[in-house]
Amino acid sequence: MSEFLSLLPAEWAEFHFLRPAWLLLLPLAIAFYWALLERHSAERIWRGVIAPHLLNHLTLNRASGWRLEPRLTMTLALALAGFALAGPTWQREPPPFVEDRAPLIIALDLSPSMNSVDVQPTRLIRAKQKIRDLLALRQGARTALIVYRGSAHMVLPLTDDGKILVSYVDLLETNLLPHDGKRTDTALLFADAMLAKDPVPGSVVLLTDSVESSAAARVQAADNARNVNETRHRELASSPRRLVWGIGSESMRPTGKATAFNPDSLIDFATSISGTYVPLTLDNDDVVSVQRKIDSHLEQARASTSAVRWRDAGYWLLWPIVLLAGLSFRRGWTVRW
């Protein structure tokens, strides 16, 4: 078999059947044809009546050579049906997300500390500038926006319209959310829930200057509960990638009521939730780094997928089967059982 496949084109090297049990119809088709031949054979009918040495000379209308007849067309149709139902294949189907860009959920912190001016003009304005740069780099890939403080709220669901996203980003201010405090875990889990409904593995980018001390424990508890549930239901969906984008500068001392920026706490938080910390840069390097990490997560999910889908080529055999079945309607064609 391997020597035969070596003579075929390279793409046929993986030829196999998706449902090989249906190949049992092939010997059944041969047995069916042989049974019809034997049942209506003149030799069989007169074998017990005429002496064997005279039978060959006395039998009339003996078939000379091959000819197309109903029992032959029915046998071929049955054999082709078994071959088609077995699912011949030699080509892999790409995953459903192979031509798609990775979806992204942007979670923007609107706490009052984002008005600090250690990053000019303010942390919030700089964060919005980075979001606009990221949207321009993604070039129409699906992106959603949520904001959070003491609670998390969706501003815009996943959309490939970057212009409308930018228009919403420009309107964001720290006084939009009434709840005091900060619940980073609520925003992160809200984003995870949004991506869980999408078939394409996505990422969550958290733009913030600080996290509360209890956020990591809450996220870890939610992750553990989700992992148990996924194992119970045997779900194979890829978990979203989490990126923590630190908005602030420790090189400048905050003034007035501004909050000091502590990147170490953000790094620890990102590590504890199996995420990655991305520091703020004056140039576009951080934006490029974020987008690369988003794309690499999609590539890793694509490479690690265990559900290989094969393209079933059996449906191409429907045409010869229909043709053979159509021949059975010719005038004078009957199958004697």
All structural domains of the chain, each given as residue ranges with its CATH number in brackets, are 16-91+312-327 (no CATH), 104-309 (3.40.50.410)
| Lowest mean per-residue pLDDT among 79-83, 86-90, 333-337 | 333-337
Per DSSP, the three-state class of 27 is: helix
Give pLDDT, residue 66: 55
- Tell me: the pLDDT tens digits for 51-85? 565 656 555 555 555 566 777 788 888 889 998 99
Candidates 118, 92, 87; CA nearest to 309 is: 92
Dihedral (Cα; 325, 27, 21, 77), 10-degree rounding:
-10
Distance CA 3, CA 99 (A): 35
Q: pTM of whole model > 0.75?
A: no
Q: Which two tokens stand for residue 6?
A: 């070596």
CA distances from 273 to 49, 188, 267, 300, 332 (A): 90, 10, 10, 19, 77
Longest dimension (CA), the chain: 122
Per DSSP, the residues of 324-336 read HHHHTTSTT----
Provide mean pLDDT across the span 189-200: 86
Q: Convert the pLDDT of each residue in 124-181 to its tens digit.
A: 999 999 999 999 998 878 999 999 998 999 999 999 898 999 999 999 998 888 777 8
- Taking CA atoms, 35 is separated from 59, 65, 118, 262, 280, in Å, by 20, 19, 92, 86, 81
